[in-house]
Structure 1
Amino acid sequence: MNSVFEYFISSEIFKEILECVEYLHSSDPPVIHRDLKPDNILIGHTIESNRFVKLCDFGLATDHNIDRQTASRYEHSVVGTLAYMAPEVVSGKQYNHKSDIYSLHIIGEQLFGIDLQASQSFEANESAFKQCIQCMYQMLKKMAKTPNWRKRPDCREVLATHNDWGINKTVVANHKEFNSSVYCTVFDSETSA
């Protein structure tokens, strides 16, 4: 991703997805979605903020009450979409809400155009932009952590580092192409939130 504008929009969308999943994980008892993928993320428009993100398809979701057994027929079963499934789920081992974090790392790779399996070189011209991409790369690596999946960060921990991997609006506003009509329109609609 070489455009500061694309990165800004992607980081704002990823932040909203993380907030949605954090809401599930902080419920009492915590809810594991178990089928996070782009097809189950809706992006709509509102007059107030011009964009909102919603999660859908809770057919495989289960609560994760560590104090008692849940009645879910899917508890610790191999369910979800294979390409987004955490390794501990695929192997049929016990798992918790951190399996959703693995799915979010795959979504993040796609959203930001980062491939953790390939050697990464960041071509961004602006040093602040390049630093954000590098921070996102490191965060996605932590979110993918295997085999010690219990050390994956929670959504709240990823959100707490948003200032490191998210683009500051002033970086976008000071960008040389900011005054072009196409980017100015996109930025105005994104920042009116």
Structure 2
Amino acid sequence: MLMSLMGRLSASHQYWRKEIEKHGGKVANHVIGVTCLIASPAERERGGSSKLAEAMERGIPVISEAWLKDSIEKQEPQPLEAYDIVTDLAPDGKGIPWDKMDPSEEALESLSAELKLYGKRGVHNDTRLQERGGTIFEKDGVLYNCAFSRCDLGKKLNDYCVIQLISVPESNLNLYYKKGKVGDDPNAEERLEERRTWKLL
């Protein structure tokens, strides 16, 4: 069984790596291809990391360290779902939409969590293509999804731009582009173009 470790656990990652390997398992530094991601519930409360977000996006179980202890003690892998620590979270984000937040410290913390949980594979809600099974186009391990923001309070700049190449089953590729000022969504410039052919370098 291949697994990955994240954040501060009750013992060091080196200790757990040795224990896992001693019992026939393997540890990876990434989440691609792993059976599960082992993390402390405290990590999830802190907003997690890109590793947590990627595991959630890929549907990889995120479980507590207790699973390791119990599996070793009982000398067989325990059911992963019994140790899950993220079932109440969703990779498409929760809470207040990021462009509707106030600039307080609490809002900034919430924004950070929102962006991490939204994930780099999330199709923008305004495209409505997720309802048709749309996904971010991926080729050779590259996701065609970009988001930029620019903020300079002195120059009164606070804008963003989102560009996504979206693949829809039984359809053509779609290019989504959105640009505007944060908090002024109704006046944002927005385009969704469907193309029969795309030349990707």
1 or 2 for the larger relative contact order (CA 8 Å, sep ≥6)?
1
Larger Rg: 2
**Higher fraction of strand:** 2
TM-score, normalised by the number of residues in structure 1? 0.26
